[in-house]
Amino acid sequence: MVYTVIIDGQRACICCGLTKPVTAFSPYRYTTRQGKRSRRCSSRCRACETERRKARHQQNLALELAQSSAWKRRNYEANQAKFRAYQAANIDLVRARRRASEQKRRYAVLATADVNGDTIQKVLDEARFGDRWLDAYSGELITNPTIDHIEPLVRGGVHTYENLCVTSRANNGRKHARSLLVWLAVR
C-alpha cells in the first residue's frame, strides 16, 4: 500500500498527482496492530475516488443488479413484514409522505399538460371581476382564487380548459379528490 506524506496540511493524491489540503481526502477509521482505534486519510482525493467508484460501478453493473434482485427475492417476506410494522408505527408520517407524493405527481401532470400556464391564466382571466374572482361553486366574489379540476386528476380527469374552474381555497379543500356531483350530494 502506498502512503503519502502530509506536509503543512497538504498531501499528494496518488491518482491525479496534485497536492491538495488534507480536507480534500476522505478520513477512515482503522485498528492498529496493538488494537488501538485510529484514523487515516485515503490516498486518493475525493474527486478521484468518486471517478474510480463510478468506473467500477459501470464495470460491475450487471452483476450488482443480479445480486440485488436475488437478495430482494430471498428476503421478500421479511422486508414486507418490516415495511408493514413501520407503517403501523408511523401512520401519520406515512400519510404525510403519501400526500406529498400525490402533490408531486399532480404538479408533474400539470407541468406537462400546461407548459406555459396559458390554460390556467385563461380560466382566471374569464372569472375576474375587477380585483375579485367569481367562485364557480358558491357564486360569491372571492379575493384569493384557486384553480380546481371539476373531475379530479386522480379520478381520471384531464388538465384541460373544460375541466378547470375558479373556486375558493376552502371549497377546493372540502371537495378534495371527489367528483363535482359526489361533492354536491354530500355538501
* pTM assigned to the model: 0.43
- Cα atoms found within 13 Å of the Cα of residue 143, Cβ hemisphere only: 0
Q: Is 161:138 a contact under the CB 8 Å cutoff?
A: no
d(CA 145, CA 170) in angstroms, rounded, equals 10
- Cα atoms found within 13 Å of the Cα of residue 34, Cβ hemisphere only: 3
Biggest CA-to-CA distance, the chain: 83
User: For the chain, what are the domain ranges?
Assistant: 10-53, 115-186
Residue 71: what pLDDT?
Answer: 95
Q: Is the pLDDT of residue 74 over 90?
A: yes
d(CA 175, CA 101) in angstroms, rounded, equals 19
The model's confidence at residue 3, banded by pLDDT at 50, 70 and 90, is low
pLDDT, one tens digit per residue, over 104-114 is: 776 666 655 55
d(CA 33, CA 31) in angstroms, rounded, equals 7
Q: Give burial (CB, 10 Å; 0-12/13-18/19+) of 25.
A: buried
d(CA 170, CA 146) in angstroms, rounded, equals 9
pLDDT, one tens digit per residue, over 29-57 is: 989 899 999 888 888 999 999 999 999 99
